[in-house]
Amino acid sequence: MSIDTAEFAGRVALVTGAGRGIGRAIAEGLAARGAHVALVARSSDELDAVVAAIESAGGLATAFVRDLLDDGARDRLVDEVEAACGPVAVLINNAAIVDPLGRSTDVPLDAFERALRLNVVAPAVLSFRVLPGMLAAGWGRIVDVSSGVAVRNDAMIGANAYTTTKAALEAHARNLAAEYADSGVTVNVYRPGVVDTGMQEWLRSRPDGEVATGLPASFRRLHDEGALITPERSAAGLLERLSSTETGQAWSV
């Protein structure tokens, strides 16, 4: 399946966590296909670099430096994007955190709640905000970036918050897809594979036992075995499916 370039030309695509890694690769891919990409992340330096790269390639991008853990900033984001760029036709909910890591009985409750707010609540709120416009237009694409741990729940021992939030995110997306089936708006999740990102690099650099038993060693082994894929390769797996009319699916790289 190949993405329909004409279908995305001139449409506005909102991508969260767009400053680096998978989010940046998705944003650059959408811009290359003619979308005006609204980039959201907390780091202005990273966003400036993505805007520069997209513009140098002839694309169009606008940066929004926002912290999605700030309820007010999150709730205003779609209105601000649409005022600056136009109606959002594509929403890629990519921003997420892997913290907190460690023995679950030692994890502070506020850190667990923080993961839920960023990894589940923020994607849900943004989806609810863009849905009215998409439904009025009769066309829209919402993709929640998930993880294989949503179905392989024992794959990251010591990352209970991350595993829980990704499973919850997939349940949210599937239910929302069923609610708006046959509306022209699709809602899917994407499991991006084991990607060589900043998070992976950080985990590999931790001493064994510092963040979660076995996790650093596990990720070092995957890296040494050449099992990691690039953000660009992962993003391509999402982009090639984005024209599809199927909804309620869990796509994997």
Q: Indicate which residues carry an active-site annotation.
A: 146, 162, 166
Give me the residues paired with residue 64 across strands. 40
Q: Residue 159 — φ and ψ, nearest 5°?
A: -125, 50
Query: CA-CA distance, 95 to 145, in Å (whole number)?
Result: 8
Strand ranges across the sheet with 185-191:
60-65, 36-41, 12-16, 88-93, 140-145, 185-191, 250-252
Give which of 43, 245, 16 is closest to 124, Cα–Cα: 16
- Quick check: 117 and 96 in contact, CB under 8 A? no
Give the CB-side neighbour count of residue 186, counting CA atoms within 13 A. Answer: 17
For tokens 């709120």, the residue is: 125
| Preceding amide of 108 cis, omega within 30 | no
